[in-house]
Amino acid sequence: MKRILSTIKHDLKLILKLKNENLSLDIHEIINEIEKNGIAIVKDFLKTPEMYIKKIEELLNHPKCWKDGKESDHRLNGIDKFDESFSKIFQNQIISNIYTSYIGKSRESYVMANKVIFKKNNLGSGQGWHKDNIARQLKFMIYLNDVNQDNGPFQYLLKSHKLNKKLNIDIKENKFVNNSNRINDIEPYLKKFQLFEAKAKAGDLIVFDSSGVHRGKPINFGSRYALTLYSNENKFLKNVKEKWLI
């Protein structure tokens, strides 16, 4: 009960704050889309995405490169701590304004580079349907190559980030006792929420509230490269930082 009340207080505070924000027209439209559906796409955000694919490939044998059991999902956490060019991508006023308006001040952040390749029976990026937390959160993902329905597009259940919806999901999934962020049976939610598949071009930015239900679709062909910015109002825990490429 304490966690539920804390979440309601946290999200309502941010919603009321946002209503009083003076935002530019572009930022206002993006925020409205996230508030409404949980996700928005900003076209042509990164102008030279292909140059970062080569940098990622050079680091896939790094000892801290995480791989899933099938070696389909490859993750380089904290790549910006290893190569500051990845940090500069997200040092952008649009991102700063969106995050500040929707969440608040970010105290610490890091970038995760991700390559997903086809392997039989792969689970996709993120290893299946999940929601990161109960309180509203925000992530920024940039595709580095064109992504269609076959090479692992990001999928999101629209409006599943809404306060009443996610509280119901967490109660149904018993997440106040079971701390896992996984969704064990997605079928009831696929009937209840509209599925959005983020098919987009290299350089496009996907902004989403990760307290909603999402996943990387299992990849059927080729590969998918992406960068994701993780930001936090507090400092990241030691066990998170231990995974960074530093």
H or E element that contains 241: helix 238-241
Q: What is the mean pLDDT of residues 146-171?
A: 94
Sequential DSSP letters for 91-159: --HHHHHHHHHHT---SEEEEEEEEEE--TT--TTTTSSB-S-SS---EEEEESS-B-SSS--EEEETT
- Across residues 135-140, what is the average pLDDT? 92
pTM score, two decimals? 0.89
pLDDT in tens, 13-37: 554 555 545 556 688 899 999 999 9
CB 27 within 8 A of CB 207: no
Q: Rounded mean pLDDT of 121-140?
A: 92
Q: Cα separation of 133 and 119, whole Å?
A: 29
3-class secondary structure, 231: strand
The domain segmentation of the chain, as residue ranges, is 2-241
- What DSSP assignment string belongs to 35-51? HHHSEEEETT--S-THH
**Mean pLDDT of all residues in the chain?**
89
Query: How confident is the model over 163-190, as pLDDT tens digits?
Result: 999 989 888 887 665 667 889 899 999 9
Of 19-23, 34-38, 98-102, 242-246, give the lowest mean pLDDT range: 19-23
Q: Which CATH superfamily is domain 2-241 in?
A: q2cbj1_9rhob like domain (2.60.120.620)
pLDDT over threshold 80, residue 1: no
Tell me the C-alpha distance between 22 and 27, whole Å: 10
Q: Taking residues 76-98, what's their average pLDDT? A: 94
pLDDT bin (cut points 50, 70, 90) of residue 8 is: low
